[in-house]
């Protein structure tokens, strides 16, 4: 929410998490050679987590002023990666250290020869903690003040540290007394000052603006800021617009409305409360359906709008709804004369699903005879860079797959007008006549401006570039090319060299990359003259492959889930909880079957993983095929896939651990 992260940044956060936990595990294993040091280190980890958690929240929210990023903008690429790495690794490192020393403490309580089993049980308990945290966050803490959540976690961790000292380190009474006082006063102080900390740190996310209101909803965070006399609205860090957007609203609305001879029923998808809805009503339609994703967004922003825009929201012709636009089109059976999509650029898969072939086909099915559809992206007509050409040509190619007639209006914003009628001529004179006949008062879309926007030389030049573009590939739910091209466009603003590298990676054939990875793994195993070391390496490769597969599968399922259903921030915790539940179940199952030979067990699990990935590809091609409707029940299919992926990875850990500790001989230590 501070940086408005797309899937790349979500993946980077997961990378920081895993890097921190792995480094912490290495350090923890060195700090817990004997029982007293293990329990002392474990208590210190709990204390550090209690302190680092609220500090990490503060550092994340202070990222924009530290990096010099303006409100609503995405930060410079390399700096944002380094900053997030520096902020997240310390906390994640302590968590990784905590697991290592907790496992060592568990080993100390087990009889000789039970090391592998003790580590497995420690891993199981960690998975159970993840499951509990995911459930509590999904249904309770997602709405709470983050610093109150931090206070609760601080109390739990400090109380646990006190318990460890009381049971295992009884001689350190002075430290125990100090810990008890800290466990009482630190969480209490954090909780009592949570409102102030929430307001102050949230303000840092909007440099040079005054934060008026911020609130968490099931779809993210909604914030209202003031800049002079103007109010600005943000959703999860993304600027939605100001309290009045007359210029953008006129261009968004009047071209598609004037392209239709008599628009009676109009559908507006996306932001409409700050001007677009008012401009639509100037054409005297009988009914306007306005669909926002977040039901709380209009409620929160309504009080900050000018009086005339508030009156527009009360107009009886305007029917406001709150649901996912794709879901609305699936359930809505009516037809519309004009459909206008007002979405941000497809910077994430969540937004990209409103620029895909499946979405456009759904839109066309809801257009009446002679109906018009309009959408847009940010652009720069005077400087058509390769990145902009790829982005625009992808949207253009996708639209032309669905609509026989598509018109582009390029300026700083590139508008697309599309119609299912082959005869659509987009005649500027007809639009000018309709503007006059309807007696519509406009400040920016005048008769002369209509003629200019439809006939200037940029129109033909951009259309020709899009038609002849090498990368005029259509955008689909399963292959979000437009989203990737938008990522490259954003990246090119900071470093063209990195942009070229990312584009080159996208052109590499997947089979070649897979074969290279397999040869690297085989070389790592084979490069050992001693059989026992080779077997140990095999155990490490087995666990590493399972971890890599799990993380890749987790990112893929998160992407597929939001591509299919949207609402990433609301239901992301569900997916991760399903993964952790599977890991817990897999660990428990493997712990309960100690007689299975490790080599055969690991081979079977990896074979099951390979078959599962193959079936996953087939299932995805089927469920994302054009015309296949996904019901809400399919959520459980994705959650089931997440559970299965975690199950296999969770079962690998105890077997690989026993294999490693047995020096490759299969001895069950």
One domain, residues 59 and 182: yes
- β-pairing, 265-270 with 367-378? unpaired
pLDDT the model gives residue 651: 82
One domain, residues 128 and 18: yes
One domain, residues 544 and 461: no
Q: How distant is the alpha carbon of residue 403 from its chain centre?
A: 30
477: domain CATH number? Answer: 3.40.50.150
Compute the distance between CA of residue 223 and CA of residue 88 in angstroms, rounded to an integer: 24
Q: How distant is the alpha carbon of residue 16 from its chain centre?
A: 15
One domain, residues 165 and 314: no
Gyration radius of the chain's alpha carbons:
28
Compute the distance between CA of residue 274 and CA of residue 138 in angstroms, rounded to an integer: 31
Compute the distance between CA of residue 574 and CA of residue 562 in angstroms, rounded to an integer: 12
One domain, residues 181 and 272: no
The domain boundary, picked from 483, 498, 519, lies at 483
10-residue mean pLDDT series, the chain (669 residues): 62 84 85 78 92 94 85 77 92 89 70 62 75 74 84 93 84 85 94 93 90 84 91 86 90 94 94 90 94 84 90 92 86 90 88 91 93 94 86 94 93 93 79 94 93 91 86 80 88 82 75 64 55 63 74 75 67 77 83 71 82 76 60 74 84 77 46
Compute the distance between CA of residue 458 and CA of residue 464 in angstroms, rounded to an integer: 10
One domain, residues 254 and 346: yes
Token output for 75:
């930060």
One domain, residues 285 and 140: no
CA dihedral 313, 317, 319, 320 (to 10 degrees): -20
One domain, residues 204 and 125: yes
Token output for 549:
């597969």
One domain, residues 63 and 149: yes
| Residue 302 CA: distances (Å) to CA of 218, 224, 298, 308, 559 | 19, 11, 6, 11, 32
pLDDT the model gives residue 523: 63
**4 belongs to a structural domain:** yes
One domain, residues 474 and 572: no
pLDDT the model gives residue 580: 81
Compute the distance between CA of residue 624 and CA of residue 628 in angstroms, rounded to an integer: 7
Q: By C-alpha distance, which of 521, 491, 494 is closest to 506?
A: 491
Q: How distant is the alpha carbon of residue 392 from its chain centre?
A: 23
User: According to DSSP H, which parts of 403-495 are helical?
Assistant: 428-437, 447-455, 457-468, 481-492
Q: What pairs with residue 340 in β-bridges?
A: 268, 374
One domain, residues 451 and 597: no
One domain, residues 515 and 415: no
**500 belongs to a structural domain:** no
Structurally, how many domains does the chain consist of?
A: 3
**383 belongs to a structural domain:** yes
pLDDT the model gives residue 549: 75
**153 belongs to a structural domain:** yes
> In which domain, by residue range, is 159 found?
1-210
Tell the residue number behind the tokens 């155990």, with chain if given.
539
**584 belongs to a structural domain:** yes
């Amino acid at each position: 929410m501070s940086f408005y992260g797309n899937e790349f940044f979500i993946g980077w956060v997961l990378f920081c998490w895993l890097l921190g936990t792995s480094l912490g595990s290495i350090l923890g294993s060195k700090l817990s050679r004997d029982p007293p040091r293990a329990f002392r280190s474990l208590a210190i980890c709990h204390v550090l987590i209690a302190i680092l958690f609220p500090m990490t929240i503060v550092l994340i929210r202070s990222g924009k002023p530290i990096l010099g990023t303006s409100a609503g903008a995405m930060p410079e690429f390399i700096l944002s990666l380094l900053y997030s790495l520096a902020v997240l690794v310390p906390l994640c490192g302590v968590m990784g250290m905590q697991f290592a020393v907790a496992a060592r403490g568990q080993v100390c309580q087990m009889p000789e020869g039970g090391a592998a089993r003790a580590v497995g049980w420690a891993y199981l308990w960690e998975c159970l903690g993840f499951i509990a945290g995911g459930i509590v966050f999904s249904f309770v803490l997602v709405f709470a003040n983050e610093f109150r959540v931090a206070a609760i976690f601080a109390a739990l961790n400090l109380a646990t540290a006190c318990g460890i000292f009381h049971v295992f380190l009884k001689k350190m009474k002075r430290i125990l007394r100090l810990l008890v006082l800290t466990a009482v006063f630190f969480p209490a102080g954090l909780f009592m000052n949570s409102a102030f900390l929430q307001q102050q740190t949230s303000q840092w996310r909007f440099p040079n603006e005054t934060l008026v209101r911020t609130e968490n909803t099931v779809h993210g965070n909604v914030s209202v800021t003031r800049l002079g006399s103007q109010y600005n609205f943000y959703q999860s860090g993304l600027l939605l617009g100001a309290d009045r957007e007359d210029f953008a609203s006129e261009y968004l609305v009047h071209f598609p409305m004037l392209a239709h001879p008599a628009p009676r029923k109009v559908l507006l998808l996306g932001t409409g409360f700050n001007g677009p809805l008012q401009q639509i009503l100037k054409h005297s339609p009988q009914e306007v359906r306005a669909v926002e994703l977040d039901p709380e967004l209009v409620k929160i922003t309504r009080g900050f709008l000018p009086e005339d825009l508030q009156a527009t929201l009360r107009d009886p012709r305007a029917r406001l709804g709150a649901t996912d636009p794709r879901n609305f089109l699936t359930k809505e059976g009516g037809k519309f004369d004009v459909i206008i999509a007002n979405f941000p650029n497809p910077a994430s898969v969540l937004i990209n699903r409103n620029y895909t072939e499946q979405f456009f086909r759904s839109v066309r099915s809801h257009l009446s005879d002679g109906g018009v559809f309009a959408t847009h992206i940010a652009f720069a007509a005077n400087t058509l860079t390769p990145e902009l050409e790829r982005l625009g040509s992808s949207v253009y190619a996708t639209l032309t797959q669905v609509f026989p007639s598509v018109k582009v209006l390029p300026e700083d914003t590139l508008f697309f007008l599309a119609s299912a009628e082959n005869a659509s001529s987009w005649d500027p004179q007809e639009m000018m006549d309709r503007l006059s006949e309807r007696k519509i008062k406009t400040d920016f879309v005048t008769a002369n401006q209509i003629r200019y926007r439809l006939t200037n030389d940029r129109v033909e030049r951009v259309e020709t570039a899009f038609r002849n573009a090498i990368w005029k590939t259509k955008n689909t739910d399963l292959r979000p090319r437009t989203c990737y091209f938008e990522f490259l466009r954003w990246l090119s603003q900071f470093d063209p060299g990195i942009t070229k590298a990312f584009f080159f990676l996208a052109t590499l054939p997947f089979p070649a990359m897979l074969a290279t990875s397999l040869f690297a793994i085989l070389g790592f195993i084979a490069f050992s003259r001693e059989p026992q070391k080779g077997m140990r390496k095999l155990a490490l490769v087995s666990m590493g492959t399972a971890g890599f597969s799990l993380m890749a599968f987790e990112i893929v399922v998160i992407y597929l889930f939001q591509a299919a259903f949207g609402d990433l921030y609301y239901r992301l915790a569900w997916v991760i909880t399903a993964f952790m539940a599977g890991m817990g179940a897999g660990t428990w199952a493997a712990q309960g079957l100690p007689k299975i030979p490790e080599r055969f067990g690991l081979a079977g699990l990896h074979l099951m993983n390979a078959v599962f990935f193959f079936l996953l590809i087939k299932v995805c091609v089927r469920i994302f095929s054009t015309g296949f409707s996904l019901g809400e029940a399919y959520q459980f299919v994705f959650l089931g896939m997440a559970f299965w992926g975690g199950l296999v990875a969770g079962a690998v850990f105890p077997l690989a651990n026993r294999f490693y500790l047995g020096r490759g001989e299969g001895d069950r230590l």
